[in-house]
Every structure is written in C-alpha cells, then in structure tokens.
Amino acid sequence: MTAWIDTHCHLDAPEFDADRSTVRAQAAAQGVCHCVIPAVERSNWDTVRTLAHQHGDSYALGIHPLYTGRAEEEDLQHLARYLEQHHADPRLVAIGEIGLDYFVPGLDPARQERFYRAQLQLARRFDLPVILHVRRSADKLLKGLRDLPVRGGIAHAFNGSLQQAQAFSALGFKLGFGGAVTYDRALQLRRLATELPGDALVLETDAPDIPPHWLYTTAAERAAGQAQGRNSPGELPGIAAVVAQLRGQPVEALAGSTRANALAALPRLKGLVADGQLSQGG
C-alpha cells in the first residue's frame, strides 16, 4: 500500500472527541502511516504530545497566531520550559503552529509578530524547524526568517505567489498542499502545484479544517440543514490523487517525493522510519 505522511493534522480538535481513535485507524487503513500534530496554545501542549505517543505519530509545540489574543506573555516562558523538558522526545519534531494571520479581523499585528519572533528565537535555541501559519502574511514571515534564521520547516497551507514560494524554499522550507488544491476555482494554487519542483511539496489535511471539495457544503446547503463534511487524515490519499493528476505524475511517485520532503523538512521524522515507512506504536 502507498504510504503517506499528513504533515499537518489537528487530531486533538474537539471535532474528533467522539471517534478519534477510529478516525486515526481509518486513516492508517488508507495508507496514512504518520501524522504531525501541531499545537495551537498552551492548553493543548500535553494533549498533542500524548496523542502522538498513543498513535505512533509526532507533534509540534507552539502558540498559533489566532490564539495570541488570549495568550499570556508568560506562556512564552512556559513554552521554553516545556521544550527543555521534552526536547529529547524523538516525537517532538518542530516548533508550531506559529506565524502571522492578516486575514482574520480583530487580531493585533504587533502582538502576533512579537509571539512569532519570540518563537523563532526558541526554534533557534532548541535547533528545531518550524511549522508556519501563512495567511496573507508571506512577506512578513519571510522577513522574520531572514532576521532570525531557523533550520527550515513547513509553510503550511501555502497559497502565495511563485516568487514567495521560491523564497521559502531558499530558506529551507517545504510548502504544504491540502484540501484547497482540490477546488477547480483555486486557479493560482493549482498552478503552483504544477509549477513547483518535486522537492518543494509536502501534503497535509489540516483536519478537521480545509475540507476537500467532495466534503464541502455551500452556505445555502448548511442553512437547509446539511452539515459541513469534517475533514480527516484519511482524506489525504484523495487530495494526493488530485495533486498527482495536476502534476501529471503517478500517485506512487508523489507519495515517495512528498515523504522524502517531509523527512527533509522535519529531520526528527527520520528517527521514526523503519524500512522506508514510518513506524507505528509509542
């Protein structure tokens, strides 16, 4: 079976509370051999670490830009102590999810940037890559990375220009593609998926968010009582099939290149590899 790595899956989200283990088992049955579970705030650091060990996956620790409004300044000190405590854990693979969001209204840009730069400093201190939230903020994120270079990572849910993509790649980052690329109207994103070199892409779901087109319901359908489909890591092979078709390459070739790219972006994943596949079990 083709083996996939979901480089961004919020398996700890409340949407999975009723059937989390089943969801993960179903994904494994679809060939998703490994998920990276990023944290979003202090309250879920323990949860993502526990889940990673429970399911044989990996995790990242950080403060998401959408949560900086309710984060305390002391949370950065707590993050440093938590990283010190768990730095030797082989399943801790990155600082994340961190970054900047200039799309959602009501967020303080200066506060976001303060948390972002402080966490880049932690990535440098602990020699870890970062998982970046990039939403109308690519140029500002790139400036931070040039000021405070880190050992690369992943630009999650990337939807910028080809020039911005190349700039992230030059700094050691891979670009995350997920459900958004499955929509016919996502012309720029689909063009990127075809133009970028094979060593630039990783695959992700961002589950339970960013559902692929086959799970999407319109506002009118939701008003009529039809529920929005919940994204899950088991959707990754379907997303990959779309990317492979866009790129004109066999699915197995895409699986191999994106696995290799994930290992390059998050080097600690290599310690979880056995016989070319990522090992299961805690």
| pLDDT in the model for residue 274 | 53
* pLDDT band for position 273 (cuts 50, 70, 90): low
For residues 146-154, average pLDDT: 98
**Residue 101 belongs to some domain of the structure:** yes
Can you give the pTM of this predicted structure?
0.95
Per-residue burial over 67-94, b if 16 or more Cβ lie within 10 Å, else e, is bbeebeeebbeebbebbeebeebebbbb
Q: Which residues, listed in sequence order, are joined to residue 100 by a DSSP beta bridge?
A: 134
Specify whether the CB–CB gap between 237 and 32 falls below 8 A: yes
- Apex CA 9: angle with CA 146 and CA 257, to 5°? 70
Q: What is the mean pLDDT of residues 201-215?
A: 97
Residue 266: give the domain boundaries.
4-272
Assess if residue 130 is contained within a domain: yes
Instruction: Give the burial class of 111: count Cβ atoms within 10 A of its Cβ; 0-12 exposed, 13-18 middle, 19 or more buried.
Output: middle
Neighbours of 36 (CB within 10 A): 29
Is it the case that residue 248 has pLDDT exceeding 70? yes
- Residues in binding site for a divalent metal cation: 8, 10, 97, 133, 156, 206
Q: Into how many domains does the chain fold? A: 1
Three-class SS of residue 210?
coil
Q: Is the pLDDT of residue 260 over 80?
A: yes
- What's the pLDDT tens digit per position in 71-102? 999 999 999 999 999 999 999 999 999 999 99
Is residue 278, in this structure, part of any structural domain at all? no
Q: What is the pLDDT of residue 280?
A: 41
Q: Is 153 part of a structural domain of the chain?
A: yes
Q: Point out the annotated binding site.
A: 8, 10, 97, 133, 156, 206
Band (278; pLDDT cuts 50, 70, 90)? very low
Q: Does residue 70 sit within a domain?
A: yes
Kindly state the tokens that stand for 242.
């779309």
Answer yes or no: is 281 within a domain. Answer: no
Task: Taking residues 3-23, report their average pLDDT.
Answer: 98
Q: For residue 59, give the CATH number of its domain.
A: 3.20.20.140
The answer to whether 164 touches 190, Cβ cutoff 8 Å, is no
